[in-house]
Amino acid sequence: MPRVLLNMPSQFGGKPSGVARMAFCLIEALLKNPKFDYVLRSPWERRDLPMSLQASPLDVITIRRPPVMIADVIRQIFSMPIFCRQHDIDLLVNIDPFGAPTGARARVMIVHDLYFRVLPQQVSRREAFTTDIIYRLMLANHDRVVTVSDATKRDLLHHYPAGAARATTVHSAATLAPISLDVEGPEIEGRYVLAVGNATLNKNFKVLAEAMASLHQVLPDVALVHVGSDPSESIGNVLSARRSTLRLVRLTGIDDNRLARLYRHAECLCVPSLYEGFCLPVLEAQGLSCPVVCSDRSATPEVAGPGAMTFNPEDPEMLSKKLHALLTNTELRGQLVQHGLENQQSFSWTNAANQYEEIFRQAISKRAPESTAARPT
């Protein structure tokens, strides 16, 4: 049976980022239909993995997270071929581009986003420069490239056309399970609009704050609940400048149960992002009967499908009007909930795993047929 190395050195062990959550859900789905032997190389200890993976046949190799990504990528050019020979690896899959440009004879990489090119002001010039070097090096040395959305594939085509020629889109799915909540009360009392994510530039929470300040003047009972960090006070500063008395609730470090309850009882999830590579919160909300209001940029309309109201993320008054329409129209809310549930069900980890397996098979067949032909299954 071919052996596949899932390489994820850039993630923080024990801290489930969006990339890590996506990877664990995908691995769980891949293990249900074992066509390959899988090895996970990352800073995660087995005991810190999701329970479904702790007792699985997945081989886990724990490494230290490198302090300097570009140095580690260069180091892996020389170390990964040796590692792959030692562990009898047929296919190297870099879960994100901060992995190994060389290694097994067949290689696949996953591109989640291109923030540093689409919104260069979000990162420092040095980070943008070094990340660009990493992407060029990685894209030049992989047989197949997987993008998590068509929007990300278009960005790849624009900025790295040579790499995009080998790209295929495989949509992810929700990573938050619809936990039984019917008997539990709301996490937050009263009506509220929910925003999820750290307040980075791409999240565009200033526009959300502007819209909510306007909405508060006509619907003063509706609060804003933000799950994530906001060290620069991007939301609070706008509300202070507007002298708004809008109730703002901030939550950080909450578990999946609490987040699921927030989705279930929210008036809606609002995603005002200027850029998203995929946007998991959209599917999380839809799967928990939470209406979605999202920007019409990048991957959000692609992921949300017909189960969302969209708006220009540079127009806070348009957003305020959309929120007002949703919060005052029960029929509209019901339609969005139904369309959202139907849309969310079209994203499946089983389907994603099948597509990844086919990409793995094609990469191995093209690049290393002799290494697996004589190996017993």
Q: How many other CB atoms are found less than 10 A from the CB of residue 189? A: 10
pLDDT on residue 316: 97
pLDDT on residue 196: 97
Kindly give the interhelix angle for 280-287 and 256-265, rounded to the nearest 10 degrees: 70
Digitized pLDDT (tens) for each residue of the chain, 377 residues in all? 999 999 999 999 998 889 999 999 999 999 998 889 999 999 999 999 999 999 999 999 999 999 999 999 999 999 999 999 999 999 999 999 999 999 999 999 999 999 999 999 989 999 999 999 999 999 999 999 999 999 999 999 999 998 888 999 999 999 986 555 554 677 889 999 999 999 999 999 999 999 999 999 999 999 999 999 999 999 999 999 999 999 999 999 898 889 999 999 999 999 999 999 999 999 999 999 999 999 999 999 999 999 999 999 999 999 999 999 999 999 999 999 999 999 999 999 999 999 999 999 999 998 655 444 445 44
- Nearest 10 degrees: CA dihedral of 221, 227, 231, 233? -20
Contact of 104 with 87, CB cutoff 8 Å: no
Give the residue among 251, 268, 253, 262 at the shortest CA–CA distance from 184. Answer: 262
Structural domains of the chain, with CATH: 3-173+348-371 (3.40.50.2000), 192-345 (3.40.50.2000)
Q: How many other CB atoms are found less than 10 A from the CB of residue 18? A: 17
Rounded to whole angstroms, the Cα distance separating 190 from 327 reads 13
Q: How many other CB atoms are found less than 10 A from the CB of residue 242? A: 16
Rounded to whole angstroms, the Cα distance separating 113 from 94 reads 14
pLDDT on residue 355: 98
Contacts of 331 (CB under 8 A, 6+ apart): none
| Amino acid at residue number 14 | G
